[in-house]
Structure 1
Amino acid sequence: MTGWALLGQAGDLAEHGQWITGWVGTVPVVVRNFSGSLRGFRNVCSHRFALMLTEPAGRGPLRCPYHAWVYDAEGIPKTIPFNDSDFHLDDTARQALALPAVAVCLTGGLIFVNLQADADPALPAQWLTNGDGTLPDGSVIKADGTIQHRSTKARTGPC
């Protein structure tokens, strides 16, 4: 499957360490807040191909339940129990085992993902808007992904 898929809301990843999971077609994905930067990956350990995070949301490291490998913001396994005695992975070998990245786009308070890591992040905003950055009610999606609402007031009585 190609294209952008809605995964969650910005509030789901407001704090460092929070993550959300979901599926794009048949592919499990995870997006995590790494100190304010949202990074997305396929939610499958590169060692034994186990599903890493099984809950829809949580807080903590990207850790595989099989051997407890922990992945960093680049998707590279950084903590590998028994590496010195069993695996013997140097930095090059660890980089080769990096999780496949997925593209992440935050727009209008919504988090979208795309299995193509180099997908154009402008597309979800274009779908949500009239093509000029405004929503149908006149509100504007700002560069940081938040919405600047247009103020309207309804009057029901005499002025």
Structure 2
Amino acid sequence: MKPQIPTPTPFANWPDTLIDPARFRDEQTRLARIWTFLGFTHDVAKDGDWFRATIATRSVFVQRLGEELRGFENRCAHRSFPLRNADKGNGPIVCGFHHWRYDKNGEVVEVPQCALFGPSPGELAARLNPIEIDTCGSLIFGRFAPPGSGPSLRLYLGESFDILAAISATSVAPRFVTRSVEANWRLCFHANVEDYHGPIIHARTLGKSGYPRPERTHYFRFGWHSAFFANPDPDGLTRMAAECRNGTWRSANYRVFQIFPDLTVSHVRVHWENWFVVVVQYAPVSPSRSVMRAWYYRAPFPPRVPPPWYDRLTRPLTNLVRRLVMPYLVRMVLDEDNFVCERQQSIAQQLSPAPILGALEERLAWYEEAYAEAMRAS
């Protein structure tokens, strides 16, 4: 993070994809081939469990079938009726329109009145459109791409893979909040990937301590991703990854990871030495609308600083208070950002194609460089 005279550089497709449906569709077609966060393994713990998600506006579902996790586009091969019409559930893959049934490979195995189509379901050669699925700890990612056509998930996440695997190792299902945001997904992510707005927009919450001080913080860039640590150690990312691998890392310092294209994972102290993980995604819906999905849970590490005696003594009571307060706190902080994004979206056609960025917005510049590269590569 080095203060410098900013040199405005145009953002790719900006602000076109915020206002032009055709440009937005082209963008999403390219992003569909990139590893995208879908949900947690906690929601598919039992055989037959499934949950619905999206990849670049396209509805998909992930399901546990035996010992395997499989993912498919959420539409029947017959007449494209959505196979999953709730957020989560359990049961076989059966279309609710005409009762076509599919196996774990997405191949149709049962068709009512099959003689109307041919001798047997197998001869129809009808199958669901698969998505490639992989996991990092309890985090499930997916993409529309043939296996082997791009980097593995481990390679894609780089140094953050072992960190995210460890930080997601919660024994209880994360709690979940969601809301619709009347703003483009990229605008929403911009608010998560810079540190200049905190004392103004989050004056009552995360920004109470003022602007981050460069001598006490450090930015990291790895692949298309970035991280902010409230710790100046230039080797902090590598050190944290090593400690997460060997199980010795302990909760200390606020830190946040931004994973391209739309995932933010924050490690934050809520009260005394009580640390939480907050996972946020802005799923694109249209040029001017997104869906915020947020999960939170207690960090799965002991604190590096031993809790004071009064924390330990009152924890049964304060844990109850935190359980009641956390949904409100998570919504409040995120809504502070969402409000700003919705105001920007209201004049999207007037947004400067080359914003002026300062040192505390360096990670936003990195993000836009990654976006431009993704648009060229896909």
Give the TM-score, by structure 1 length: 0.79
Q: Which residue of 2 aligns with 1:116?
A: 145
Identify which of 280, 287, 305 aligns with 1:154: 305
Please report how far the alpha carbon of residue 128 of structure 1 lies from its aligned counterpart in structure 2 after TM superposition.
Answer: 4.5
**Contact 1:104/1:121 (8 A) holds in 2:** no
**Contact 2:100/2:111 (8 A) holds in 1:** yes
**Corresponding residue SS for 2:112:** coil
Please report how far the alpha carbon of residue 154 of structure 1 lies from its aligned counterpart in structure 2 after TM superposition.
Answer: 2.3
Is 1:48 matched with 2:79?
A: yes
1:67-106 aligned at under 5 Å gives the runs 67-84=98-115, 86-90=116-120, 92-94=122-124, 96-106=125-135
Quick one: distance in 2 between partners of 1:92 and 1:80?
10
Give the TM-score, by structure 2 length: 0.36
Q: 1:134 to 1:23 in 2, by over 3 A?
A: closer
Please report how far the alpha carbon of residue 107 of structure 1 lies from its aligned counterpart in structure 2 after TM superposition.
Answer: 1.1
Q: Which has the higher helix share?
A: 2
4+ runs of 1 displaced by more than 3 Å? 125-129
Identify which of 2, 7, 13 aligns with 2:44: 13
Please report how far the alpha carbon of residue 81 of structure 1 lies from its aligned counterpart in structure 2 after TM superposition.
Answer: 1.5
Q: 1:89 to 1:115 in 2, by over 3 A?
A: farther
Quick one: distance in 1 between partners of 2:42 and 2:96?
26
Q: 1:121 to 1:65 in 2, by over 3 A?
A: farther
Quick one: distance in 1 between partners of 2:247 and 2:159?
15
Please report how far the alpha carbon of residue 102 of structure 1 lies from its aligned counterpart in structure 2 after TM superposition.
Answer: 0.6
Q: Which residue of 1 aligns with 2:244?
A: 139
**Contact 1:19/1:57 (8 A) holds in 2:** yes
Q: Which residue of 2 aligns with 1:64?
A: 95
Q: Which has the higher strand share?
A: 1
- AA paired with 1:26? T
**Contact 2:52/2:60 (8 A) holds in 1:** yes
1:31-86 per-residue CA deviation (whole Å, 9 max, x = no partner) reads 110101011111110001111111111100111111011110110111211213x2
Quick one: distance in 2 between partners of 1:9 and 1:39?
14
**Corresponding residue SS for 2:123:** helix
**Corresponding residue SS for 1:139:** helix
Q: Tell me, which stretches of 5 or more residues in structure 2 are unaligned? A: 1-31, 164-236, 251-303, 309-378
Quick one: distance in 2 between partners of 1:29 and 1:89?
30
Quick one: distance in 2 between partners of 1:13 and 1:82?
32
**Contact 1:22/1:29 (8 A) holds in 2:** yes
Q: 1:122 to 1:150 in 2, by over 3 A?
A: farther
**Corresponding residue SS for 1:16:** coil
**Corresponding residue SS for 2:134:** strand
- AA paired with 1:104? I
Please report how far the alpha carbon of residue 27 of structure 1 lies from its aligned counterpart in structure 2 after TM superposition.
Answer: 1.5
Q: Alignment identity in percent?
A: 26
- AA paired with 1:150? T
Quick one: distance in 1 between partners of 2:108 and 2:70?
15
